[in-house]
Amino acid sequence: MSPNMPSSARTASSMTVEDSVQVIIIELRRCLLEDLKVAVEEEKLGPHVPLFDDGVGLDSITLFELIAIIEKRYEITFAVESLNSQVFANLEAVARQVHSMLDERGTVEGRP
């Protein structure tokens, strides 16, 4: 595991799945606000706010950049079949997908 990987990818064994997902949501929110400079107020960027249309209003280029950042930070690769509107509906959906991918490779140790 890379020392640059976010702490959310190095969760302690005492963390539950929900705790891990919440940590990933915080990292994704920071990524959108600081790295991608998405023009939305932080308090309006909740875990269930749609990432497209009337929510955050991401366009396809910003989504591509977000995917690239996630893949680099968490050292994962999204499968083609996971690149859909359900997985990227909101921050919680993305965080659950990232958690699942990390869990599949054994990086996330937290279990309910």
Q: Which domain holds residue 78?
A: 12-103
In this structure, is residue 110 part of a structural domain?
A: no
In this structure, is residue 25 part of a structural domain?
A: yes
Contact 29, 42 (CB under 8 A): yes
Q: Does the structure show a pLDDT above 90 at 58?
A: yes
Domain count, the chain: 1
In this structure, is residue 91 part of a structural domain?
A: yes
To the nearest whole number, what is the mean pLDDT of the chain?
Answer: 86
Looking at residue 13, its pLDDT comes to 53
Distance, first Cα to last Cα, the chain: 23
> What does each C-alpha distance from 36 to 19, 32, 40, 62 come to in angstroms?
25, 5, 11, 7
Helices of type H across the chain: 17-30, 60-74, 91-104
Structure tokens at 35: 């790295």
Instruction: For residues 18 and 111, give the distance between their C-alpha atoms in angstroms, rounded to a whole number.
Output: 9
Identity of residue 74: Y
pTM: 0.82
Instruction: CATH number of the domain at 76, please.
Output: 1.10.1200.10
| pLDDT tens digit sequence for 64-83 | 999 999 999 999 999 999 99
In this structure, is residue 37 part of a structural domain?
A: yes
In this structure, is residue 112 part of a structural domain?
A: no
Looking at residue 15, its pLDDT comes to 81
